Amino acid sequence: MKNKKVRHVLGISGGKDSAALAIYMNQKYPDLNIEYYFCDTGKELEETLELVNKIEDYLGKKIERLKATKNDHFEPFDYYLKSVGNFLPSVQARWCTQKLKLEPFEKFIGNDLAISYVGIRGDEDREGYISTKQNIQSVFPFRINIWSLEILSKFFQNENNDSHLKLYQEIAEKSIFLRAREILKTPKGNRFTLSKKLNTLLGISATTFNKVMFQFLKDKNYPISHLHDFSLLVHEDNLNREDIFKLLRDSGVGVPSYYEKRTFTVDDITGEYARSRSGCFFCFFQQKIEWVWLYEQHPEKYKLAMDYEKDGYTWIQGERLEDLIKPERIRQIKLATIKQNERKNSKKSPYLIDSLIDSESVVCANCFI
């Protein structure tokens, strides 16, 4: 492979994981000249913008604010909303992510080769956004397995077993090679799946696996194929949610303030709520209790969200925001939340977002990581 210039990029979404990833990469891989960016929809909470500023201060480096349009009269979200005839985005029709997050990012990269660092944690089972553009490759530094599923699928083709054996023999220490040998020879199949094979090899030595993968990719057409060396090859970390909160707190950047739980009282019972994610204040991924949170913590933003509901379009299927804030409805939602939290608190996580909702089961890597 010719050694073309490869950019290293990291998107800050305003959520905890991408913020922690920026801190982690800065601490652990200062040699990488990472470009940071934030796709601004124009509809973020102040807390999100504050977090971006704090990370920028911490890094001592500019975070590029990318806007899907530079129109003087409309914020990006409003500009595209108008262009789709006020059709509000929804889980099924997420034009906003495409227009406001993916397209500005891909424009920022252009035709350059880029490695994009994505903050999917070691305790998550998802891939997030994988660019379909050949010139952008995602790498996952919070996981012991830093590679995308697409690359792993190529690597673990059974016809590659012999060449992997050779590479291991060349690269690995003898004791590691001896332990990996049988695993490498065993064909992948229903009984010995890709993830079993992968996890076994990572368990023996993630660093060796990464070095072998790096060699394997040398004659492939990936951005990483153009690098002489790659700092993340020596990588054995696997970070979970606890680690992410610790990174944020220890760095002084802190946890985004919308995660902080606040108490409410309903029928003389005290409950707690918070916002579980970054992204637009009116994001349709919100749970109903989060809409109540928005109404009570940022009433002006709630009012703005209500104003978008016209021509029969609503943020929540089957319920208008003006109905959701009727006192009896708020009471129902709060009581339901208290019950739900009681059930989930048995998991004993110290973080409200764990008990509030299973927020991260909904994948929107671009907006919420």
Q: Which of 23, 324, 367, 369 binds ligand SF4 (CB under 6 A)?
A: 367
Measured distance CA(152)–CA(158) in Å, rounded: 12
Enumerate residues 118-177 that contact ligand SF4 by CB under 6 A. none
Q: Which of 52, 68, 115, 283 binds ligand SF4 (CB under 6 A)?
A: 283
Taking the complex as a whole, the smallest distance from the CB of residue 175 to ligand SF4 amounts, in Å, to 48
Contact by Cβ (8 Å): 57, 48: no
Measured distance CA(137)–CA(114) in Å, rounded: 6
Contact by Cβ (8 Å): 183, 177: no
Q: Please report whether residue 285 would count as binding ligand SF4 according to CB under 6 A.
A: yes
Q: Please report whether residue 45 would count as binding ligand SF4 according to CB under 6 A.
A: no
Q: Please report whether residue 104 would count as binding ligand SF4 according to CB under 6 A.
A: no
Taking the complex as a whole, the smallest distance from the CB of residue 368 to ligand SF4 amounts, in Å, to 7
Taking the complex as a whole, the smallest distance from the CB of residue 138 to ligand SF4 amounts, in Å, to 18
Q: Please report whether residue 251 would count as binding ligand SF4 according to CB under 6 A.
A: no
Q: Which of 279, 288, 290, 338 binds ligand SF4 (CB under 6 A)?
A: 279
Residue with smaller CB distance to ligand SF4, 224 or 283: 283
Residue whose CB is nearest to ligand SF4 in the complex, by number: 279
Residue with smaller CB distance to ligand SF4, 216 or 313: 313
Q: Which span sits near ligand SF4 by CB under 6 A: 60-68, 203-211, 221-229, 279-287? A: 279-287
Q: Please report whether residue 289 would count as binding ligand SF4 according to CB under 6 A.
A: no
Q: Please report whether residue 364 would count as binding ligand SF4 according to CB under 6 A.
A: yes
Taking the complex as a whole, the smallest distance from the CB of residue 260 to ligand SF4 amounts, in Å, to 20
Give how far Cα 339 sits from Cα of 47, 276, 286, 344, 355, Å.
Answer: 28, 18, 18, 9, 11
Measured in whole angstroms, the distance separating CA 240 from the mean position of its chain's CA atoms is 13
Q: Please report whether residue 81 would count as binding ligand SF4 according to CB under 6 A.
A: no
Residue with smaller CB distance to ligand SF4, 139 or 364: 364
Q: Please report whether residue 89 would count as binding ligand SF4 according to CB under 6 A.
A: yes
Taking the complex as a whole, the smallest distance from the CB of residue 283 to ligand SF4 amounts, in Å, to 3
Q: Please report whether residue 41 would count as binding ligand SF4 according to CB under 6 A.
A: yes
Amino acid at site 152: L
Q: Which span sits near ligand SF4 by CB under 6 A: 91-99, 167-175, 181-189, 232-240? A: 91-99
Residue with smaller CB distance to ligand SF4, 55 or 283: 283
Taking the complex as a whole, the smallest distance from the CB of residue 10 to ligand SF4 amounts, in Å, to 18
Q: Which of 280, 289, 325, 338 binds ligand SF4 (CB under 6 A)?
A: 280
Measured distance CA(290)–CA(281) in Å, rounded: 10
Taking the complex as a whole, the smallest distance from the CB of residue 276 to ligand SF4 amounts, in Å, to 12
Residue with smaller CB distance to ligand SF4, 100 or 338: 100
Q: How many residues bind ligand SF4 (CB under 6 A)?
A: 13
The token pair that represents 172 in the structure block: 């690995």
Residue with smaller CB distance to ligand SF4, 280 or 338: 280
Residues that bind ligand SF4 (CB under 6 A): 41, 89, 94, 96-97, 100-101, 279-280, 283, 285, 364, 367
